Chain A
Amino acid sequence: MRKVFKNKAAFWLVVMVLILSIAIGIFNASRTDVSGIENIVKTVISPVQKLFTDMGHGISDFWGYFSDKDKLHSEIKKLEDENADLRRQVSENEASRLENEQMRKLLNLKTDNYEFEFMAAEITARNPSNWYNSITIDKGAADGIVLNLPVVSAGNSLVGRISEVGTTWSRITLLTDPLHSAGAQVLRSGEFGISEGDNALSTSGSCKLSFVSKNADMIVGDTVITSGLGGVYPKGLVIGKIQKIRTDIQGISQYAVISPEADLKNLRAVFVIMDVF
């Protein structure tokens, strides 16, 4: 080892690299614009990545068919039961909706149930690094995607937001990413907080609800939704369910570990909300 560092050039190289890396880290950390070269590389490589992703899914599905045959049978049975239940609920809901509409007309109330315009997109790649949680989709500026649009999965479950836009691709920062945050609210009690990613939790696929007062009313199993505060996400997108509640080190406030509603690990397609506000 001494021999390596006897060479002064090697020693100074290490020092220079450390200084340079820290400088790059500080000055480059919060950039959102995509450089020309980055756009070209990603635009060229994105279709190939999509092909590989599709191949990977094909192999995984084929393998899964044989390894999970029994599991699939019980799942089909469960889904059939759920389907029957949902059909009953739909007819009940339809009756309630009609009744609600009539009442609103009678009272002359405006509807606040805003219908979003969605754009479906396929996931072409995931972030190659362990430090960040992001995915790349096959829609970009050419399709009308702009920065900060919210992204959901089926059932209005929050996935994240658009953080980089290329010509034919975009990057989505997932809600479990350490750089992601969103105004949040506990659905049952109306308590406000901030949902944010955390590297310690993200490897287990969770995020946390922070800045909640010590006496806030929340229990394990509560649903957390977006509060609509902060200007990025509309109100009412489902973030997930509270898994654990913990008090912070100072003992002043508490935070909750949220298990996201969207299955972020197995996502294959997402919906970008095109008209947020």
Chain B
Amino acid sequence: MKYVFHICFLLLFSVIQPTWLEYAEIFGAKINLFLTYVVVISCCCKKKEGAVVGFSFGLILDLLVGRIIGINAVMMMATAFLASNFCEKAIRKNTLWITLLMVGVTTLVYELLYYIVAFLGNLEFAAVFLRILLPETLGGIIAALPLYFIVGRAARFLWNDKGESIG
């Protein structure tokens, strides 16, 4: 059941991210719904599941972006694994604030790594930081809020995971 839930979100984001998100830009930057969902899922579900979701969402994002195939898949899988590991071991109890903090930190680090890996630092960092990294991080935190409750409810009612502590 939970994988049907993830596939529904994957299809929804595949359509919404390249079409409707242009109407909801934060200071000219689009929200990365794929990454936000992966981090929220990682904080709410098991490590292995987070990694599988991260890889699948990353791969589809790669196909939609169409430049460097595999980079988002690998990076999102690792992000999911680390986020899940962090929530599980360092914090133990998942709360809304922890999830929002995780989304903010991972979005910032993730996009920073993408900037280094994909462009090898070949762009003006200050402009990239102010015009892409910060607005996208802010957007990710805003988008994580409804996602947290949706995933929390789903985890509680559709499958009996760590969802009992959230939502």
Show the binding face of A for B, using Cβ within 8 Å: 1, 3-4, 7, 10, 13-14, 17-18, 20-22, 24-25, 28-29, 31, 34-35, 37-38, 41-42, 45, 48-49, 52-53, 56, 60, 124-132, 134, 136, 164, 171, 178, 198-200, 203-204, 265
Contact mask B38-79 → A, CB, 8 Å, 1/0?
Answer: 000000000000000000000011011111111100110110
Q: Does B1 lie at the interface of the complex (its beta carbon under 8 Å from any beta carbon of A)?
A: no
CB contact list, B85-113 vs A, under 8 A: 85-86, 89-90, 111, 113
In the assembled complex, the CB of A33 is this many whole angstroms from the nearest CB of chain B, namely: 11
Interchain CA distance A18-B75 in the complex, whole Å: 8
Closest to A48 in B: B15
Interchain CA distance A45-B66 in the complex, whole Å: 14
In the assembled complex, the CB of A257 is this many whole angstroms from the nearest CB of chain B, namely: 13
Interchain CA distance A171-B21 in the complex, whole Å: 18
B74: A residues at CB distance < 8 A: 17, 20-21, 24
Show the binding face of B for A, using Cβ within 8 Å: 14-23, 28-30, 32, 34, 60-61, 63-71, 74-75, 77-78, 81-82, 85-86, 89-90, 111, 113-115, 117-120, 123-124, 127-128, 131-132, 136
Q: CB < 8 Å: which of A48, A128, A164, A178 contacts B17?
A: A128
CB<8 Å pairs between A and B, sample of 16: A3-B90, A4-B86, A14-B78, A21-B113, A24-B68, A25-B71, A25-B117, A29-B118, A41-B63, A56-B20, A56-B23, A129-B30, A132-B67, A178-B123, A200-B123, A265-B22
In the assembled complex, the CB of A142 is this many whole angstroms from the nearest CB of chain B, namely: 18
A131: B residues at CB distance < 8 A: 65, 114-115, 118-119, 132
Interchain CA distance A226-B136 in the complex, whole Å: 34
With A131-B118, A203-B131 as contacts: A126 and B19 at CB distance below 8 Å = yes
A53: B residues at CB distance < 8 A: 19
Determine if A4 and B85 form an interchain contact, defined as CB atoms under 8 angstroms apart. yes
Closest to A134 in B: B66
Determine if B86 and A41 form an interchain contact, defined as CB atoms under 8 angstroms apart. no
B71: A residues at CB distance < 8 A: 21, 24-25, 28
Closest to B88 in A: A4
Q: CB < 8 Å: which of A17, A34, A127 contacts B75?
A: A17
Q: CB < 8 Å: which of B18, B30, B66, B75 contacts A49?
A: B18
A171: B residues at CB distance < 8 A: 66
